[in-house]
Structure 1
Amino acid sequence: MQTWQMQTAKAQFSDLVKRAADEGPQEITVHGRSVAVVISRELFDRLSGNSESLVDFMGQSPLYGQEDIDFERDRSLPREVDF
């Protein structure tokens, strides 16, 4: 992982982002202390589990395809609000 000082990271932000996409995580330091890591969107999605679309996720539900699901509606009156 390449390390960038904050000043250099700000001045060469485009290069920093390109390297994160091409070479992997890029570390940013301030006064020699690690404060952040820039990663590609692809790696972020893989690590956070966001690679699957909502449609795909919903399609994996055990309820998918069932036609006879009845959702009961709460018929109670709404609360009163004083203005």
Structure 2
Amino acid sequence: MKAIWQLQEAKARFSEVVERALKGEPQLVLRRGKKAVVVLDWETYARLTGEEASVLEALRPPKTLPNEEVEALFQRQKTGFREVDF
């Protein structure tokens, strides 16, 4: 994280802190020299917290699986028929 602000400076230049966060650059704010908060854009926050994700989106892998992996996941074992007594 490149942008680190002291609280007083972040307050004085809040518009700049927000603009940088909107460009996808997390902004770290220190209070009394210790890490206090991070300012993020909404999309990043929603992705990290799952705020806007439906159940399907939350369970979906981050990238599409290759067909071979999908087939391996859902492959049924081929077994013979079994004899049944009536």
TM over 0.5: yes
Task: State the partner residue of 2:13.
Answer: 12
Unaligned runs of 5+ in 2: 56-86
Task: State the partner residue of 2:50.
Answer: 49
Partners of 2:24 and 2:40 within 8 A in 1: no
Task: State the partner residue of 1:77.
Answer: none
Please, what TM-score do these two structures have when normalized by structure 1? 0.58
Q: How does 1:1-83 map to 2 (within 5 A)?
A: 1=1, 2-52=3-53
Partners of 2:24 and 2:41 within 8 A in 1: no
Deviations 1:3-23 (A, max 9, x none): 000011001111101101114
Aligned mates of 1:43, 1:23 — CA distance in 2: 8
Task: State the partner residue of 1:78.
Answer: none
AA aligned opposite 2:16: D
Deviations 1:47-74 (A, max 9, x none): 011223xxx65xxxxxxxxxxxxxxxxx
Greater Rg over alpha carbons, structure: 2
Task: State the partner residue of 2:70.
Answer: none
Please, what TM-score do these two structures have when normalized by structure 2? 0.57
Aligned mates of 2:48, 2:31 — CA distance in 1: 25
AA aligned opposite 1:13: F
Aligned length: 55
